Amino acid sequence: MQGKLSLQEYEETEPEFPSCLVCKGVIISPVCSDCLEKEALAWLSDISPDMKLLLARSPAFFSSPHSAINCILCSSEVNICAHCYCNEVSQMLANKPSLSREFLFMFNFE
């Protein structure tokens, strides 16, 4: 019977897990930023339509030419975790603190 593997031994024997480009954590909810943005825009349409423009103009830093995992909704590449995406959007909404808090409540990926 083998004993437990050390972290180094485990990392050497197991394939690399897909990790977030922002926080370097393992992506456990593989939903791409495009799919998350569609849902966020739909939510903002009901709550604060004027803020939709801010989100629609969000930078393209959520994409990268390399990804080890595909979106469970549309099969496109996933490069950042949903948690980091939602944190970035929350910061974009920071000038409306109640809206930012409600967004994090509605899109809680922790």
Does residue 76 lie within any of the structural domains? yes
Regarding predicted confidence, which is higher, 28 or 61? 28
Structurally, how many domains does the chain consist of?
1
Is there a domain that residue 97 lies in? Answer: yes
Domain assignment of residue 52, given as a range: 30-106
Q: Tens digit of pLDDT for each residue in 53-106?
A: 666 655 555 555 566 688 999 998 888 888 888 888 888 888 888 888 888 888
Q: Which of 87, 68, 78, 67 is nearest to 34 (CA)?
A: 78
| Its pTM surpasses 0.75 | no
